[in-house]
Amino acid sequence: MSEFPCRRAIAVVLLALPASVAVASPDDAPAGYSHILPLGVETNQAVVQLRVPREVYLHARSPELNDLRVFDAAGASMPFALVDLAAPPVVNRPSTPAAVFPVHGPARDAERVHDSLQIRTGTDGAVISVTAPTREVSDALVSLVLDLQPAARGAQVDAAAPVGGLALTLPPGVGNYNAWVALDVSDDLQSWDELAEAAVSWLINDQGASVQKHRIEFAPRPFRYARIRWLDGKPILFSAIHVEYVVAQQKARHVETIVLQGVRGTEGRDLVYTAPVAIPTRSLGLVFKGQNIVMPVQLGQYQAVRRREAGSRTAVQLQLQSVLSVTFYQMIQDGRRRASGDVDIPATHASQWVMRPQVDVAELPGLRLGWTPSSMVFVASGKPPYSLAFGRTGASAAYVDLPQVAPGFSARELAALDAARPGDLIRQQSSGKSADDIAGSAPGSKRGWLWALLVGGVLALGAMAWHLFRQLKDGASEPPPA
């Protein structure tokens, strides 16, 4: 055998070795996941949102949802991001009149305000009267002091709600009017800060049509008292001054719940509840079957602690790491049912919850977990229909940052994205194991036979390469012909 064909054969065999190893790596396909949810998507939208379904949290194998995938009809994985798509708050601007108190003084002092104003207030801080230290018959109106407490009550808002403007109403009989005013604010009637200056004007023509600029606007901020001073124009006592509050109301978040059934633990009165590890628990509550139950408890997780005993022996002891200590109850009093509600906690992932009652319990109450689902935003760039796959041990995270799937989208645009429609849950025969688990599965499975064939092929190729190498070596040792 010539040297060149042998070297070429060896090169072909060696190149085939990594190719065989590459083929041996299992693909990330829908068949490798334990559960599938078909997704209905509008074909004319490139970016789609989906609130992560309840089934995902119940069957996913990772607390961070690393085993979550979006596949198209060809089995290609679609890029997606996990985000919190809370609906933007709804902003209301209730407007109610404030209590107005005129301040009089010498006309020559109209551009300044006495620091020694006599202001009487009630026990709740409400202004009763505002007077100058001395009052003459010739004194003119120099400023207006406003108490916003009546306005807050009328608008049914918190006294600390931010104010975004004041609306002025002319007194009856006044037509055209122009002025330049300053607005000062205070929380204690002692120290005042100038908040804004504004021009106000009312113009009425011969036909009775009017044009008016009657609002003093500023960046919303909370304050209790206000004062209007005239920088230019004649001071007048407005018939009403309405306070415009800026109240942002966040829409209620969607909350999912699940009730777990417990079993008695090995430590005292402890009850143990097995939970899906993917649930980001944000609230805990007990579900009782009976009535007139009061149960103080601790809730948390076991933590293994190693302790050294006599004789240099090390023992492992389970200690309860408490997350919550509270009293749950359910009773009938005066014919009415009274029951404790769920208690909020920081988001916690746990595959097991432990409840330690402080009293003997006759029944095993259910443990209710509550959580707020995340949302996913993905690009519908593949071939429909799409599917949501989850349930695979050891899978690496597939989600990306939001700008990689929705670049330049505002929060309002994201909240308005069309939503995909999940279908019925499909449980696949695949156990959703990791690649290592699949490689080590019992012989007789199809994937195990495939691995065995691939390994055998690699060994055969290695034997062929060694045989060709020996032939080349033997040929090189023979003496050349005469």
Q: d(Cα 167, Cα 96) in Å, to the nearest integer?
A: 10
Task: Please check whether residue 282 is in contact with residue 293, taking contact to mean a CB–CB distance below 8 angstroms.
Answer: no
Task: Assess if residue 481 is contained within a domain.
Answer: no
Final residue in a domain of this structure, among 183, 216, 249:
249
CATH number of the domain residue 318 falls in: 2.60.120
Task: Please check whether residue 312 is in contact with residue 339, taking contact to mean a CB–CB distance below 8 angstroms.
Answer: no
364 shares a domain with 379? no
275 shares a domain with 396? no
Task: Assess if residue 435 is contained within a domain.
Answer: no
Task: Assess if residue 417 is contained within a domain.
Answer: yes
pLDDT of residue 372: 94
- Count up the domains in the chain and report the number: 4
Task: Assess if residue 482 is contained within a domain.
Answer: no
Task: Assess if residue 464 is contained within a domain.
Answer: yes
pLDDT of residue 219: 93
Final residue in a domain of this structure, among 195, 220, 249:
249
392 shares a domain with 284? no
Final residue in a domain of this structure, among 371, 396, 412:
371
360 shares a domain with 298? yes
**AA letter at 292:** N
277 shares a domain with 139? no
pLDDT of residue 478: 52
Predicted TM-score (pTM) of this structure: 0.62
Directed axis angle between helix 3-24 and helix 446-477, to 10°? 160
187 shares a domain with 70? no
Domain coverage including residue 402: 34-85+375-427
pLDDT digit string (tens) for 433-446? 544 443 344 444 45
Tally Cβ neighbours within 10 Å of residue 224: 20
Specify the long-range contacts of residues 335-343, CB closer than 8 Å, at least 24 apart.
339/288, 340/285, 340/286, 341/285, 342/283, 342/284, 342/285, 342/368, 342/370, 343/283, 343/284, 343/285
Task: Assess if residue 432 is contained within a domain.
Answer: no
Task: Assess if residue 280 is contained within a domain.
Answer: yes
228 shares a domain with 136? yes
pLDDT of residue 388: 95
What tens-digit pLDDT sequence spans the chain (482 residues)?
A: 444 444 444 444 344 444 333 333 346 899 999 999 999 987 688 899 999 999 999 999 999 999 999 999 999 999 999 998 876 677 889 989 998 988 887 654 544 445 555 666 666 666 666 655 555 556 788 889 898 888 888 888 888 889 999 999 999 888 889 999 999 999 887 888 999 999 999 988 777 677 889 999 999 999 999 999 999 999 999 999 999 999 887 777 889 999 999 999 888 889 999 999 999 999 999 999 988 899 999 999 998 877 776 666 777 778 888 899 999 999 998 889 899 999 999 999 999 999 999 988 888 999 999 999 999 999 888 888 999 999 999 999 999 999 999 999 988 888 888 999 999 999 997 555 544 443 344 444 455 556 666 767 777 777 777 767 676 666 555 555 53
pLDDT digit string (tens) for 100-146? 988 887 654 544 445 555 666 666 666 666 655 555 556 788 889 89
Q: Please enumerate in sequence order all residues whose Cβ is within 8 A of that of 477, keeping only pairs 6 or more positions apart, or say none.
A: none
Q: What is the Rg, in whole angstroms, of the alpha carbon atoms belonging to the chain? A: 38
pLDDT of residue 236: 92
235 shares a domain with 106? yes
Task: Assess if residue 445 is contained within a domain.
Answer: yes
199 shares a domain with 177? yes
pLDDT of residue 133: 55
280 shares a domain with 265? yes
pLDDT of residue 430: 55
CATH number of the domain residue 151 falls in: 2.60.120.260
pLDDT of residue 435: 40
453 shares a domain with 367? no
208 shares a domain with 176? yes
pLDDT of residue 16: 42
